[in-house]
Amino acid sequence: MSINPHPTLPEFDYIRPASLAEACAFLAGEPEARPFLGGTDVFVRMRDGFLAPRFLVDVKGLEGMQALRFDPKKGLTLGAAVDMNRVIASKEVQAHYPLLAEACRSVASYQLRTRATIVGNICNASPAGDTIGACLLLDAELQVHSPKGERREALAQFFLGPGKTTLKPGDIVSAIHFPIPPRGGAGRYLKLGRNRLSDLSIVGVTAFGHPLADLPSGYRFRLALASVAPVPLLVPQVEELLGKGPVTTETLQEAGRLASEACAPIDDVRGSARYRAQMVRNLSVKALTEVWEALSK
Ligand SMILES: Cc1cc2nc3c(=O)[nH]c(=O)nc-3n(C[C@H](O)[C@H](O)[C@H](O)COP(=O)(O)OP(=O)(O)OC[C@H]3O[C@@H](n4cnc5c(N)ncnc54)[C@H](O)[C@@H]3O)c2cc1C
């Protein structure tokens, strides 16, 4: 790809529908239309020549999009347009979903997070999305509106490849829902970037653990990896290993090795595949050990 030294935004029509139904109908009938929230992915990709939609459909103001609701029985619902700074500042998120706040804090800068949303991060479907691992490990589901009606989609089945999801033309994600997290859980997100601000991850490791009496070890550990496969990657091998026997320094090391074996990184401008695989091992051991220490306090 040749680099354009003077990138400009291509022309487009700005559409602001009055309801979700209207927005879905417009998007379903117009293949060159695209929804947007914060626009922090869409506008950059348009400026850089990767996208040229004729219509941009602003869905931020539609019903329910700005809601942030916690119910002690049902869990947390974030309207799709809730920006990451609101998530970080929420007392309920801090109390019940601190891993989600930690993942949001790792995204770029305060300024960017006043626009960027978790749902945009997910729908962009970059394997590097920093909030996706936490959403996967917290068992998030997406509320999707389409011309045919509403449905819930488990995030675990949502990603099909880089930039590819199960969404069809006319689908709009209106909210993301998190069930009540398991009691006594602890999580950690470790991001390796080229700098501490405003860069995508070379490797991202999210770990979450909680007591579970049904398992021989007494604990369930889960691990998700960013930037090391075509889609955000769950590593069930780690869950199996750390569930079946006592958690020790050796099994945590072995878990890191399994994570490294499970990933399929590529070489790119941020790092080589070999470096990424090694950092997956190191960061997985570190994240899982920190979770284990928090659980055993
Ligand atoms: C300077 C800079 C730094 C960045 N740093 C990071 C970083 O550190 N970590 C990181 O993970 N990302 C980073 N990003 C990428 C981006 O900020 C995030 O992915 C952000 O979460 C996108 O959210 P948004 O609301 O802006 O999405 P948008 O740009 O509005 O949309 C993203 C995608 O989702 C689709 N979409 C939007 N809304 C909906 C909807 N309701 N239903 C269905 N599809 C929808 C859009 O069509 C588009 O394809 C950075 C971007 C910039 C410009």
Does the CB atom of residue 296 touch ligand 1 within 6 A? no
Q: How far is residue 228's CA from residue 30's CA, in Å, rounded to a whole number?
A: 34
Mutate to test the pocket of ligand 1, among 51, 66, 124 (most ligand atoms within 8 A of CB): 124
Q: Cα(129) to centroid of ligand 1, in Å?
A: 9
CA geometry: angle 260, 257, 224, nearest 5 deg: 50
Report the b/e string of 260-276 with b at 16+ CB within 10 A. bebbebeeeebbeeeeb
The pTM assigned to this predicted structure is 0.97
Does the CB atom of residue 206 touch ligand 1 within 6 A? no
Does the CB atom of residue 103 touch ligand 1 within 6 A? no
Spans of the chain below 70 pLDDT: 1-6, 197-198
Cβ partners under 8 Å of residue 244, min gap 6? 215, 216, 217
Closest ligand 1 atom to 129 CA: 11
For every residue of 3-72, DSSP letters joined together read --SS--PPP-EEE--SSHHHHHHHHHH-TTEEEESS-TTHHHHHHTTS---SEEEE-TTSTTTT-EEEET
Measured by CA distance, the residue closest to atom 35 of ligand 1 is: 123
Interstrand relation of 55-58 and 33-36 (parallel, antiparallel or unpaired): parallel
Q: Cα(184) to centroid of ligand 1, in Å?
A: 32
Cβ partners under 8 Å of residue 212, min gap 6? 182, 218, 219, 220, 243
Joined together, the tokens standing for residue 148 give 């045919």
Q: How far is residue 219's CA from residue 288's CA, in Å, rounded to a whole number?
A: 12
Q: Cα(48) to centroid of ligand 1, in Å?
A: 15
